[in-house]
Structure 1
Amino acid sequence: MAHKLHIIIASTRPGRVGPKVANWIFEYAKEHGKFEPVLVDLADFNLPVYDEPHHPRLQQYQHEHTKAWSASVNAADAFLFVTPEYNYFAPPALVNAFSYVFKEWKYKPAGLVSYGGVSGGLRAAQSEKLLMTTLGVVPLAEGVAIPMVGQLINAEGQLVPNDLIIASAKGMLDELIKWSEALKPLRSA
């Protein structure tokens, strides 16, 4: 059975580039063949600033949006976060989404596909790794950085990656499947 890979679009801003990047990595992950990729758009969950009355470790969720997000995170064996950079940091919507659930994240590896201007979103990726480790997610050293992302979007609105981006994606997915397999006994315990 293929490992379920949730590709999470981390930005919820209108006019965002995230879905274009996510569509590319989704198709690439399908071609890679080791995962069952699932596109997950954080915007679809409409998560307000954390509004649950109980700590997430208790899993006593009161709101339907939390229950839906919990089910989505729980269903994944591994994650790819498609993330821009906001003020040298992670998108606020993603920081909020990380905080909504706790146990559902544990023992799952994560790769980062960051994008932006000259930095390619790398500062956001670094800040997200700190959040992930607190939740028991294993962030990979391998990742994909896409600098000057606007220059790689064609007239049809599709990301056209260069050879370096493609090679980075292959290396990241190759590592992600190893970690997903290695952590599987912990996820099922």
Structure 2
Amino acid sequence: MRALAALRAYGAHADPSTRIANTIALLVGLNGPFYPAYVWFLVPEAGPYALATMAMSPAFLAIPWLSRRRVTAARAALPIAGLLNTVWAAALLGPATGVGAFAYPCLALALLCWREPWLMLMLLGAGLVAQQAVLHMPVVPLAGLAVTSQSLLESLNVTSVGALMAFAAITIAREMRAA
């Protein structure tokens, strides 16, 4: 209970959009160590490569800290970190594993967490470019997985994206009810 209260306090912010960004950033950052475990369980040969995806967890976990210093930077950091993580995971595991689908929540967050249209459009454009880069990546992924292994990871990743989008929707709805 204390840990949950400490997390809530760490993610708290007076601005609702920033509070949403902080909550989602904490969820993603705290889930970082679990993703490699899921991958390792489903496709053991991809496990060592999936460990490298944890490198982005500290960036997500730092977003609430950043929000106390620079609100705009913190809200921009969430979709940017998510897009960088998406491209990084695609380089490691390959676009056929469905990791490119993680660009969708990043695009949605770029639209939902902003009141500044110019920044919203800039982040949306960056997200679309990142998504296309992942889909048409000209490099061979480091893991070099078989088609069956890629298919197993695609199911995991698409399910994870759905869960993340559902969590974001619940978080946003909770903020809207509280307003």
Q: Which structure carries more helix by proportion? A: 2
TM-score, structure 1 length as denominator? 0.29
TM-score, structure 2 length as denominator? 0.30
Q: Which structure carries more strand by proportion? A: 1
